[in-house]
C-alpha cells in the first residue's frame, strides 16, 4: 500500500525537470531589485520552485558578464573560484501545490559555499543539471556594484517634436540630466557608458555608450573628471495594471478572469492606480494556498488593431523577447497564463515584428502621463584597467520622476 501511494504521488510530477516562479532580489526586500554592493554586506536572494519526479540534483553557476549579458570569456575572471553551487538543498512544497514539488531559496555571496562576486559588473546565474551543466533549466541576472564615484540626476519635462504624434499626449517626455564626477586616479577616457533601467525592467535596460551619436543622448565633459549626460525622449507612461491572485475568494481556481468584468480596455485617458514599479511579489512558498492557477486575460482595443497585441509584465520579467502574443477572437484579444499566486504588474502592448526584433509600444493602450511615478536606476560603467579592462560598475543611482 505504501509503495502504491509513493508511485501515485510520483506520477503527479513531471519527469522533465522544470524551474518555475524564479525570482532574484536584494535581500531582504522581496522586491525584484537585484542590485547589491557586497562591500556593505548586501546579498542577493534567488528563489524558485522545481518540478520533477525525484529529488533535484542541480547546480547554480555564477558568471560575470559584459553589459549586454554575455559571459566574459577570459579565464582570468574564473581563476579565483569556479563559483558553482552543487546539489543545493531543497524544501518540499505543500501537498496542495500540484505544479511543482520542491522549493529553493539561497542568498549570495556565500563564503562557506565558495560563492563570491569579486567583479563589480552584471552577473548571470544558470540553474543546471548537477552532472551535465550544459543542460540549463533557467537563467537570470543581477548586478554587483561599487560606490566609487559621485553622481546626481534630475528630470525636466518636454515634448517630442521630432515627428508628429497623435494623440498629442504621446509627445509627453522627460529629459534626464545626469552629472558624474570620477574619483581621483580615474581617467576620463576609460569612462565607458551609462545604463538606464525603468522600474523593474532589468531585461530591457537602455545602454548609452559614451561615443554614441544620437539626438536622444549627449555626453559632455566639463573638466578632466566630470561628465554631464543628457538623455531625452523618456516617456513616463502610466502606472502598470495589477493583478493580485493571492485573493482566494476572487480567484478561486483555473479559468478566472484577470478583472471582474472579464474584459479590459484602453487606459489612454485614465491614470492608473499605484503599482509595485513592475515587481513580482509571490505568495510565501510554504503556505498551503501558494499554488498555481490559470488566469485568462482578455483585452479589447479601441479600434481594429493592425498590429499584434502582446501581454508584457513581471510574469515574463518584462523581457521584450518573452512577451506573450494574444490571440484574436472576434473584437477581443485573449491569452491564458499559468501563474503562481502572487501580485503581478503588467501592460498590454501594441507591437509589430521587424526583421530582427519586436517593435513594441505600450503607450497607445496604456497612456502617457507626466504624473506617473517611476524609479529609474542609472548604472555607470568604467573600463577597469587593473582587471583586463572589464566594464566595472562604479556607481548606481536611483531617481524618481513622479510628481
User: pLDDT tens, 236-266?
Assistant: 999 999 999 999 999 998 999 999 888 999 9
Report the run of H or E that residue 10 belongs to, with start and end: helix 2-11
Distance CA 144, CA 139 (A): 17
Mapped onto helix, strand or coil, the DSSP state of residue 363 is: helix
Q: Check pLDDT > 90 for residue 2.
A: no
Distance CA 272, CA 363 (A): 13
What's the CATH number where 14 sits?
2.60.40
Neighbours of 252 (CB within 10 A): 10
E-strand stretches of 44-145: 44-51, 58-64, 84-86, 91-92, 102-108, 122-129, 136-144
Average pLDDT (271-287) is 94
157 and 262 in a common domain: no
Q: Are the beta carbons of 203 and 319 closer than 8 angstroms? A: yes
Phi and psi, residue 88, nearest 5°: -65, 160
Whether the upstream peptide bond of residue 351 has omega within 30° of 0, thus cis, is: no
64 and 14 in a common domain: yes
Beta bridge partners of 187: none
Average pLDDT (313-321) is 95
Q: Who has greater pLDDT, 182 or 163?
A: 182
Beginning with the edge strand found earlier in the chain, give each strand of the sheet holding 375-384 in spatial order.
206-209, 191-198, 375-384, 390-400
Average pLDDT along the chain: 91
116 and 93 in a common domain: yes
The share of the chain scoring above pLDDT 70, in percent, equals 92
Closest CA to 277 of 401, 172, 174: 401
Domain-ending residue, one of 89, 112, 144: 144
228 and 170 in a common domain: yes
209 and 266 in a common domain: no
383 and 286 in a common domain: no
pLDDT band at 209 (very low <50, low <70, confident <90, very high): very high
14 and 126 in a common domain: yes
Q: Check pLDDT > 60 for residue 229.
A: yes
pLDDT band at 287 (very low <50, low <70, confident <90, very high): very high
DSSP assignment of 370-393: TT---EEEEEEEEEETTTTTEEEE
155 and 64 in a common domain: no
pLDDT band at 7 (very low <50, low <70, confident <90, very high): very low
> Residues 6 or more apart from 236 whose CB is under 8 A from it?
172, 173, 174, 368, 369, 370, 371, 372, 374, 401
214 and 117 in a common domain: no
> Residues 6 or more apart from 235 whose CB is under 8 A from it?
170, 172, 173, 174, 363, 368
Distance CA 381, CA 130 (A): 34
pLDDT band at 272 (very low <50, low <70, confident <90, very high): very high
pLDDT score of 354:
56
**Exposed (0-12), middle (13-18) or buried (19+): which is 194, by Cβ within 10 Å?**
buried
pLDDT score of 401:
87
How many domains are contained in the chain? 3
Phi and psi, residue 76, nearest 5°: -55, -35
97 and 17 in a common domain: yes
The pTM score is 0.92
Q: Check pLDDT > 70 for residue 4.
A: no
β-strands 217-221, 226-234 pairing: antiparallel
56 and 11 in a common domain: yes
pLDDT score of 14:
59
Neighbours of 189 (CB within 10 A): 7
pLDDT score of 12:
52
What's the CATH number where 215 sits?
2.60.40.10
Q: Who has greater pLDDT, 389 or 351?
A: 389
Beta bridge partners of 62: 125
pLDDT score of 28:
80
Q: What single DSSP character describes residue 320?
A: G
pLDDT band at 8 (very low <50, low <70, confident <90, very high): very low
55: containing domain: 2-144
Neighbours of 178 (CB within 10 A): 21
Quote the cell numbers at residue 88.
543545493
Which of 117-121, 139-143, 318-322 bottoms out in mean pLDDT, i.e. has the lowest?
Answer: 318-322
Phi and psi, residue 395, nearest 5°: -165, 145
Quote the cell numbers at residue 94.
505543500
Q: Are the beta carbons of 363 and 378 closer than 8 angstroms? A: no
Closest CA to 400 of 190, 174, 248: 174
Distance in Å from the first CA to the final CA of the chain: 65
In which residue are the cell numbers 518540478 written? 51
Domain-ending residue, one of 101, 123, 144: 144
Q: Check pLDDT > 60 for residue 350.
A: yes
Q: Who has greater pLDDT, 169 or 315?
A: 315
Distance CA 297, CA 333 (A): 8
Q: Check pLDDT > 80 for residue 49.
A: yes
Q: Check pLDDT > 80 for residue 123.
A: yes
pLDDT score of 138:
98
196 and 80 in a common domain: no
Closest CA to 283 of 107, 33, 21, 12: 21
Amino acid at each position: 500500500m505504501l509503495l502504491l501511494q509513493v508511485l501515485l504521488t510520483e506520477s503527479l510530477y513531471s519527469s522533465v525537470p522544470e524551474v518555475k516562479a524564479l525570482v532574484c532580489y536584494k535581500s531582504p526586500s522581496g522586491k525584484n531589485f537585484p542590485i547589491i554592493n557586497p562591500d556593505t554586506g548586501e546579498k542577493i536572494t534567488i528563489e524558485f520552485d522545481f518540478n520533477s519526479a525525484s529529488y533535484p540534483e542541480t547546480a547554480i553557476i555564477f558568471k560575470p558578464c559584459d553589459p549586454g549579458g554575455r559571459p566574459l570569456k577570459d579565464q582570468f575572471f574564473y581563476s579565483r573560484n569556479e563559483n558553482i553551487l552543487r546539489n543545493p538543498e531543497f524544501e518540499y512544497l505543500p501537498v496542495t501545490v500540484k505544479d511543482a514539488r520542491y522549493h529553493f531559496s539561497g542568498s549570495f555571496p556565500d563564503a562557506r559555499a565558495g560563492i563570491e562576486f569579486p567583479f563589480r559588473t552584471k552577473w548571470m546565474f544558470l540553474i543546471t543539471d548537477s552532472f551535465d551543466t550544459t543542460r540549463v533549466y533557467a537563467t537570470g541576472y543581477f548586478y554587483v556594484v561599487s560606490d566609487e564615484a559621485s553622481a546626481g540626476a534630475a528630470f525636466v519635462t518636454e515634448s517630442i517634436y521630432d515627428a508628429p504624434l497623435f494623440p498629442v499626449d504621446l509627445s509627453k517626455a522627460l529629459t534626464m540630466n545626469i552629472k558624474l564626477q570620477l574619483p581621483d586616479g580615474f581617467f576620463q577616457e576609460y569612462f565607458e557608458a551609462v545604463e538606464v533601467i525603468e522600474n523593474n525592467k532589468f531585461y530591457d535596460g537602455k545602454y548609452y555608450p559614451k561615443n554614441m551619436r544620437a539626438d536622444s543622448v549627449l555626453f559632455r565633459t566639463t573638466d578632466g573628471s566630470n561628465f554631464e549626460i543628457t538623455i531625452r525622449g523618456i516617456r513616463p507612461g502610466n502606472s502598470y495594471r495589477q493583478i493580485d491572485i493571492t485573493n482566494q475568494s476572487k480567484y478561486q481556481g483555473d479559468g478566472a478572469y484577470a478583472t471582474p468584468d472579464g474584459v479590459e480596455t484602453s487606459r489612454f485617458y485614465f491614470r492608473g492606480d499605484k503599482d509595485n514599479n513592475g515587481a513580482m511579489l509571490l505568495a510565501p512558498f510554504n503556505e498551503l494556498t501558494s499554488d498555481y492557477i490559470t488566469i485568462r486575460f482578455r483585452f479589447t482595443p479601441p479600434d481594429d488593431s493592425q498590429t499584434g497585441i502582446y501581454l508584457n509584465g513581471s510574469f515574463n520579467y518584462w523581457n521584450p523577447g518573452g512577451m506573450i502574443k494574444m490571440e484574436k477572437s472576434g473584437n477581443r484579444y485573449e491569452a491564458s497564463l499559468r501563474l503562481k499566486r502572487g501580485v503581478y504588474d503588467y501592460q498590454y502592448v501594441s507591437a509589430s515584428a521587424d526583421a530582427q526584433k519586436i517593435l513594441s509600444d505600450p503607450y497607445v493602450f496604456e497612456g502617457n502621463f507626466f504624473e506617473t511615478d517611476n524609479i529609474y536606476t542609472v548604472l555607470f560603467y568604467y573600463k577597469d584597467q587593473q582587471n583586463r579592462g572589464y566594464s566595472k560598475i562604479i556607481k548606481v543611482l536611483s531617481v524618481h520622476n513622479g510628481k
